[in-house]
Amino acid sequence: MSALKDQPLSLALVVMNIALLILVYINASEQNTYRRQVAELLIKNTHETEVLLSKCIDAEEVRKLLQLQR
């Protein structure tokens, strides 16, 4: 710090770099949280869609169709 005492501009640059690193870390953390939430919603939506689609097709009719094709 004694070396930077005579050059306040260098000290200001060091402080700004540290502040920028903190800002980048906070931003990356928020983006990670947002991406996790979006991924969870997509997985939930896909699961709900699969459940609904599985109820739309009658297994017995699918068996009949497969037997007719043979």
Tens of pLDDT along 37-52? 999 999 999 999 888 8
Please state the rounded mean pLDDT for residues 23-49: 96
The pLDDT, as a whole number, for residue 16 is 96
Whole-prediction pTM: 0.58
Q: Does the pLDDT of residue 1 top 80, yes or no? A: no
Q: How many whole angstroms separate alpha carbon 5 and alpha carbon 13?
A: 13
Q: What rounded mean pLDDT belongs to the chain?
A: 88
DSSP 57: S
